[in-house]
Each structure stands twice: as structure tokens, then as C-alpha cells.
Chains A and B, each alone.
Chain A
Amino acid sequence: MTAIEPNAALQGSTSLDLEPRTSPADAESSLGTQTGREADPSGPSFGSATVADRYASDLTTADLLGQTDGTAQREALAPGAPAAAPIPLPFRTTSGRYRSQAVGFQLELRIDVDGRRPLRRLSGDYFNISGGTVSYFGSWTVDAVTVTTNATHVKIVGTARTTWTTTFTVATVTVPRTPIFQPAGPATIRWSTPSGAIGATYVCGWEAGAFRTVELEQDCESSVTPFAQYNTGALPSGGPARTLSIGTAYAEAGVQMVDTGGANIISTPSNHVWNNASLHHAMEAHFSRRQERPQFKVWLLHAQRHEFTTATSTLLGIMFDQQGLQRQGCATFYERIAGNSPVNQRRQLYTNVHELGHCLNLFHSFHKNRMDPPMPNRPGSLSWMNYPSMYDPGGGAPAGDGPFWAAFPFQFDDLELAHLRHGFRNNVIMGGNPFGKGAASQEGEEFAALLSDTTGLKLRISQAAGDMPVLGTPVVLEIDLTVERPQQVHTREQLHPKFGFVQVAINRPRGDVVVHEPTVRHCAEPDLLACDSGTRLPISAYIGYDATVGQVFEDPGTYRIRAVYAAPNGSLVVSNTATIRVAAPRSTQDDRAADLLLNNQTGMAFALQGTDSPYLVQGTDALRTVADEYREHPGAVYARFALGMNAARSFSTVEPDGSVHVREPDLGRADSLLWDAINMSREDGGLDDLTVYQAGAYLAEAHAKAGDTDGAHGVRAEIRQLAQSKNAPESVVHSLDE
């Protein structure tokens, strides 16, 4: 991978041994970038880690004395004094936010392995530092980590999904363990590829116990007394009694809400009724920190009444900002929940925390299926984001307001917590993605949740070639539509995802879902075919490279794939779920071939079935290298196929002076490469059958175009015979007719 990206090894970056040789204090002083915030209620000393997490049996008060003043030794304790049992000292929690120095790429690193409700995740945002400017680059998340703790260090390892394309996806984080009386040590993160190639290393100083910090500006309508705090023990509930404000409720989630103070009192006429337009206008007028760019700053208006309130329904709050850069403002309406009664105080707390949750791009528990991408609803969620009246744990258990409040522990549910702490930055930050887009950090099988199947058509998908692909082997999907009763459907060719009638979603082992975006889109009028019962229309499609995420199958592991076909009558036909397991490289040769094939340029060159483009010369060279020097690798035959297809056609290059240079087809080279690929695929292994037929048909057409009618006829006849011998469906054999 040669693109400049933050996980690759950077020029001048430090190559650190991850087993630190200095004490935590030394490491920190050499870093010199501690920027810890005060008044951070979710900081390490406020954590609630288990005893096993927090205490070290190998550190005692004597150790502490030695470490804190730098002079005291064990021997200095009074000789002959009775040997006191060691008093274990609590360690600082490791979880929190860390930041690297502002050079090149700056990393904001979030570690979530201990402390309050640990999710065992890592995440981070990269910022590009260039001169005096700082710009956001991208985000990454590790959804599951392995944590190893010894007396001196915590080591955290996991595979990241990223907002940009990189092969350096394995994160290894090391943090020194320090007693709570000492400053936190720095976290060191080292990136590597799944095959072990080392990428960049960042040393990040501890910044805060909170995973995010949000500036909260609150204004108040003149007739309203805004909410301050509520004791959760005032009424029965599902959690421990404690006093919660907006700030402490979010601190428990790991989000520091910094009240910026200076609340404006907004004078309104008596019986003033707000609507969404007037709320937005008020935000523009009174939100002093508002800017037309994403920022972790939000405006909350404590107001009296909204126009959506009716005699039988009360609008208690709204995130009204759905224009331009969204989610920067919300409002709570006190008309029917004002006062100091516990019920109303609880309602005020709930509504305020809930509306700010919307600003952080959280949907209601019963609206998760409306998000983009959708998730299953969670009506049984005991969360700030549910409606108590809508609470339904299922299984016949009591539902509704009473059971909700009796069990509600005043918290977000785990998936919401993951979003708040570790969602990609633009999915969380105010002014980032529109409300509902990327509103969950975990994505499910949206096709299954969203779409319904119909009768009369059956869509099956499978890996086109039968073998388990080793890392780097191009992944080709066979998409097979069967018509079970006579009707019109798209032609076989138009079932390729590049026409948009079939869409493919890939759930990757790193935890994300890629809705496949082919690199080339064919905008074509639907070409329909009247089919009889039993007609099969199979087509193969290379899905290894994606216009949005680049290389799709870049990690060993299990991929689950699903497709959906939009039939001419509007039906959406959902396929089975195909499982493809990508094997790790088995040899050094495999590893080198994988590196060549997983290059983004190689992926693009393969998606184009070869190219002369000077912009993809590295990819084309990689294909040549794999074809010639790694003939045993399963990817070699695909490389020959792509190079052969390219040789069989002309290629036009527009020169800098505007003239056009045309490279004519090289039939000799095309014959050599494509017949080689075809012959390597006649038995087990090699290209899948449909790709073999495609190669043969393309070669025949190239011969025909060159005036070699006999040659074309010969190629076509041989391929047709091959297809018949392999019992190819009639539609495929027919496509090979002259």
C-alpha cells in the first residue's frame, strides 16, 4: 500500500518497541503533552473497575513511597518494624481519551477496556495537520479486542474497520499501568497488516477520562425554570440511587458535557408557541458557538410549548435541526412537566438527556429500523432513547410505563453506548452526517430486515469458484436468478451489479457491512426478457473491489454476503446468505502475492478487466508480476484473465496535447493469456466456469472484429462445447451462439 494514509508507516515516524523500557513517569515526561481536563467526572479515578482490574498485588505502600518522592526505599522503613501486610494500591483505569502530538497525522485514541461499563473496544479519529490548519481525515473502530494485563502494562489487540482504505488494520495498543496517585501514562498504538507487516506507531498522551467532550450551551425561555438535577432514588427505579444532572448522566456514558454557562433568557409573549422554524431561528440567533461546520457543540433550549402539542398529546422535546448541517440544536418543553414533583423532575431529566441523544445521532429504540443503514428495533431497551409507554421486553413480560420506570437504570443501552463512544466521528458529531445516517456503530443484515421476498423468482448467490480463496485471490460471486413462473425479468447481463438492478451487501469479519458499489456503473434502460418456468439466468460478478471502500476482502476470515434483485414489477427478491471464508496466506509466496493483489490499483485494474491507464500502472504491473512470478497462487489465473481481456481490445489514451493515441488489440497476446487462463480452469481450480465462458466469448469477438472469422468461429465452438459438457444453463449456452 503506497497511498499516504495514517496507518501506514510514516516517514520519520518512530519505530517503537512496544515493551517500554522506561517507567510510565519517564515516558510521560518525555512526551510532555499531557492535556488532561479538570472536572472530568468520568476520569480514571472515578472509574468503577472490578477489584481484579484495579488492584496490583505487586505494588505496596512502600513501592508508592519510592515512586512518589523518588528517594524513599524499602530499606528506609524502620528496621525491625512488624511486617505489615501489603496494602494493594488501586491502579488508574486505562480507559479514556488519548491524543498524539500534532505532527503530520494527529490521532485521538479512545480506549474502552475498563472503568464504567467497559465495551472492550478501541476507536480513534485522525486529523491532518498541515501548517496552521487541521482537518479531519478519518475514523476507525475496533469492535472487539483481546486484553492482556500484567503487572506493568495493559496490551490491547484487535482488528479495525476504517473510513478509508488501508491494509494496516490490526491495532496493538500498550498502556503502562500506573497507580491512581501518579499521572496516567501514554498509550502507544502500533498498526500492522493481518500478515504482520508493520505500519505506523503513535504515542498518545492521556487527555481525559471521557471518550468525547461536548460543549453544551443552554438557553431558557423566560417563563421556564430549567431542569437542574434529580435523585434517582426519589421514585422506584432499576439502578442505584444517585443524583443525576444532564452532565452526570452523560458522564456515566463516557461523554463529558461541558456547560458553557452564560445562559440567555429568551423573552417571549405569554402563551408563546414554538414551531420548528422559530426554534431554528432562535438557535441561529442565540447559539453563540454555532458555526457552519461539524463540531462537538450543541444548543439546548428550555421552552414552554410546541405547536405539535394537542389536547391529547404532549410534545415534550424535539431535535428540530434538520436543515443544512443537522443535529446542532434541540428543545425541551415544560408546559406539562414543570415543577418539582419527583415525577416531573424525572421526566425533565429524561427528556433533556433524550433530546441531546438525538443530537448525538441516536434514534428511538423503536425507530432503529428507520436508520440508514437500518437495525432491528429494540422496544425492550431500558434506555434513555426509548419511550416508557412503548417499552415492551417481549415474552409476555409486563410492558409500558410502570414496568419501564421500575426497571430503568438511567442509562443508554450497550449499542447506543458504543455509538456515543466509538461511532465514526461524522456519525456522532453535531453537524456531521444527517440525522439517522450512520446512527449505529453496529450494522446488521439490513437487507434481511428491510426487504421482503416474493414468490415466482428465486435469487441464489454463491462463491463462483469452489475453493476457499487464499487472501488476495479475486472474489467472484455467482448470481443466479431462477424464474419459477412465466414472467419478464432483466436479461442475464443486466443482473450484474454494475447495472444496479442487483445490489450486494457484504458483512465483513471486521464487523462492518459494505453495500457493494461497483467501480463502473452502467446506466441502461431495463432490457427485459420473457422467461418460462425453470429458466435460470446465472452471471458472475467480481466484487472484490469497491468504489467506496476499495479492497473488500482484505482480511482473512468469514464474509457473509447477501444480494437483492429489484424485479421489473417492483418486487424485491432477497437472496440466500452466502458465506465465503478467506484463508490466511500459507507461505511467504502467498503473502507477497496477497500484497500485490490487495493493492488498490490492482483491485481497480482487475475491476476494469485490465487497463493501459498510466494512472493504474502499478496495478497492471502487479497483475503481470502475479501472472508471471506467482503462477502457483490462485490469483495468477485471474491476473492472466484480466491482462488477456485488456490485450483483446484497443485502448485509447488522450495525450497532454489533446491528441488521441490508440493501442490496437494484441490478439497474439490475448490468445496466449486467455487460453492459458481457460486451460488452467478446465478441471478443478482456476477461474469459475462463467468467467471462463466470458473469456472465450470475448476472445471470439475480438477475432471477429479483426476479420478472423474462422478463428472466432473456432473459439466460440470450443467454448460452447465446454459449456455444454459442464451442463451450463441454456441461457449461458445460448449466449455463446454466434
Chain B
Amino acid sequence: MELAVELGEGFADDEVTVLVDGQEEWHRTGVTTNYSVGIADVARISGEPGALVEVRVRDLAGRREVGEDARLRADIDVSGKKLALGAASQGDIF
């Protein structure tokens, strides 16, 4: 199924790689959060339930097994030391 991995807060001109089961599926440089929506970019990849999605940026990495959610979200905290990869929230963005 198609997965949308939202690259959310804390990205600043970053090089980001998204892997599925260790295989690089998406790669982009210059990824920067737009805080008017709290999203830097959306990586659209293929991944079946049970697959392991990994987001790598700087020296950080976040991993999550694909479940029923078709949307995941990666945020870097304000200290820049932690990357959280979880289910994307639902609702309006603006």
C-alpha cells in the first residue's frame, strides 16, 4: 500500500532518507519545515503492514513497523537530539 511519511517539525535544510526494510525508498536534500503547516515534506513510499520504515536525518534515526495507518509522521524535537516517528495526527492543518 502507499504510505505517506510526513516530515514534520524541526527540519532545517536537512538531507533526509526514508528506508523500507533497509532499502532506500526516498531521498531528498534541503528539507526544511514550513511552520505555517508544520510540515517540511511528504515522502510517499510503498510499504506493506509489517514492513519496517526508517527515517534518517543528520545522525538521528526513527523506526516504526507499518500497521494499519497509511500516514506516518517524523518530528525532530526542539533540542535537535530526538527524532520521533509515529502515526500522523488527523484533522485540519493550516
Contacts and interface: CB of A to CB of B under 8 A. Distances in A.
Q: Is the interface of B mostly helix, strand, loop or mixed?
A: loop
Contact of B93 (A308, A322, A374): A308
A355 B36 contact: yes
Interface string B10-53: 10000000000000000000001111111100100000000000
A367 interface: yes
Contacts of B34: 276, 318-320, 322, 435
B17 to A, nearest CB: 21
Nearest to A401: B91
A367 B92 contact: no
A387 interface: yes
Nearest to A358: B36
Contacts of A312: 71, 88, 90
Contact of B91 (A320, A367, A389): A389
A314 B92 contact: yes
A624 interface: no
Interface in A287-330: 307-308, 310-320, 322, 330
Contacts of B39: 308
Contact of A313 (B9, B35, B36, B92): B92
Contacts of A322: 32, 34
A369 B39 CA distance: 16
A374 B78 CA distance: 10
A313 B90 contact: yes
Contacts of B37: 308, 315, 318
A450 B78 contact: yes
Interface in A348-398: 351, 354-355, 358, 363-364, 367, 369-370, 374, 387, 389
Interface string B55-94: 0000000000000001100000011000000001111111
Contacts of B89: 313
Contacts of B32: 322
B91 A370 contact: no
Contacts of B42: 307-308
A88 to B, nearest CB: 47
Interface in A53-83: none
A452 interface: yes
Contact of A330 (B35, B36, B71, B78): B36
Contacts of A115: none
B77 to A, nearest CB: 10
A316 B36 contact: no
A332 B94 CA distance: 8
A101 to B, nearest CB: 39
Nearest to B90: A312
Interface centre among B4, B70, B90, B94, by most chain A C-beta atoms within 10 angstroms, is: B94
Contact of B35 (A354, A363, A387): A363
A364 to B, nearest CB: 7
A326 B93 CA distance: 20
Nearest to B37: A318
A322 B36 CA distance: 10
Contacts of A509: none
Contact of B4 (A310, A315, A358, A364): A310
B92 A450 contact: no
Contacts of A634: none
A316 B35 CA distance: 14
Contacts of A387: 92, 94
Contact of A364 (B10, B38, B71, B78): B38
A358 B45 CA distance: 30
A276 B32 CA distance: 13
B78 A369 contact: yes
A308 B9 CA distance: 15
A436 interface: yes
A318 B94 contact: yes
A134 interface: no
A313 B79 contact: no
B33 to A, nearest CB: 8
A387 B91 CA distance: 10
A451 interface: yes
Contacts of B71: 310, 312-313
Contact of B92 (A307, A316, A364, A374): A316
Nearest to A388: B92
Given A313-B71, A370-B78, A451-B79, A354 B90 contact: no
B73 to A, nearest CB: 10
A363 B90 CA distance: 20
A54 B10 CA distance: 48
Nearest to A368: B35
Nearest to A312: B90
B84 to A, nearest CB: 15
Contacts of A389: 91-92
Contacts of A370: 9-10, 33, 35, 78
A450 B79 contact: yes
B90 A436 contact: no
A436 B33 CA distance: 11
A14 B4 CA distance: 65
Nearest to A311: B70
Contacts of B4: 310
Given A313-B71, A322-B32, A367 B38 contact: yes
A389 B91 CA distance: 8
Contact of B36 (A307, A318, A374): A318
Given A355-B36, A363-B35, A313 B91 contact: yes
B90 A367 contact: no
Nearest to A332: B94
Interface string A404-426: 00000000000000000000000
B94 A315 contact: yes
Contacts of A318: 34, 36-37, 94
Interface in A115-169: none
Nearest to B88: A313
Contact of A316 (B33, B90, B94): B94
6 contacts: A310-B4, A314-B92, A314-B93, A320-B34, A320-B36, A355-B94
Given A308-B37, A308-B93, A355-B94, 19 more contacts: A307-B42, A310-B71, A311-B70, A313-B71, A313-B90, A315-B37, A315-B93, A315-B94, A316-B94, A317-B36, A318-B34, A320-B34, A322-B32, A332-B94, A351-B94, A370-B33, A389-B92, A436-B35, A450-B79
Question: Which 7 A/B pairs are nearest by Cβ-Cβ distance?
Answer: A319-B36, A316-B94, A317-B94, A358-B36, A312-B90, A315-B93, A314-B92
